[in-house]
Amino acid sequence: MTACDRTRFSPGQLRRVEGSYPRRLSRQLGEMVQLLTRMYKAGVPIVSGTDGSGIEIIRELEVYNEAGLTNAEALAAATITPARLLNVDKKTGSIEVGKAADLVLVEGDPSERLSDLRQTRVVMLDGKLMDATRCAVPQDSPAGRSRLSDW
């Protein structure tokens, strides 16, 4: 299996269709976790991202846990690590006075339980407060959900 084969599906995509092709996708997810574990242990910076709905990123962070990253390291993969790699960490990537940031308020403590990221209550986007229960997920999202709470 080539590196391209291992990265064909995002962790979120794999989770959605695991029931459809259980053995093959389970094996691919396992191989992806093994590869991620080796990269992490080798010191390769881990950065999250998805081609699908942004909510898939939560599952991606959970997969990082399976590969050995702590919750703090998984959260950093979605925040400060990409900012550092893009050399914009002086402007964004962490919550500090003078930095730009979109914020998500959740019920719970993601530093203890990454799954708490699914309990989104408030979103601040471009300085505007939004009610997370009214934030629509794109209509063409693979799961076909219309609200964050449905995920």
pLDDT tens figures, 73-95: 999 999 999 999 999 999 999 99
**Measured CA distances, 33 to 6, 10, 51, 56, 87 (Å):** 10, 11, 18, 16, 28
Q: What is the CA radius of gyration of the chain?
A: 16
For the chain, how many structural domains are there in total?
1
Using one digit for the tens of pLDDT, what is the confidence trace for 4-25?
A: 444 455 666 656 655 555 666 6
CA atoms of 40 and 69, how far apart (whole Å): 8
CA atoms of 78 and 11, how far apart (whole Å): 14
**Measured CA distances, 16 to 53, 107, 149 (Å):** 12, 24, 16
Cβ neighbours, 10 Å, residue 61 = 22
Q: Which residues of the chain are modeled with pLDDT < 70?
A: 1-25, 51-55, 135-151
CA atoms of 47 and 138, how far apart (whole Å): 23
pTM reported for the whole predicted model? 0.71
**Measured CA distances, 90 to 23, 49, 78, 127 (Å):** 45, 21, 16, 19
- Domain with 129 in it: 3-150
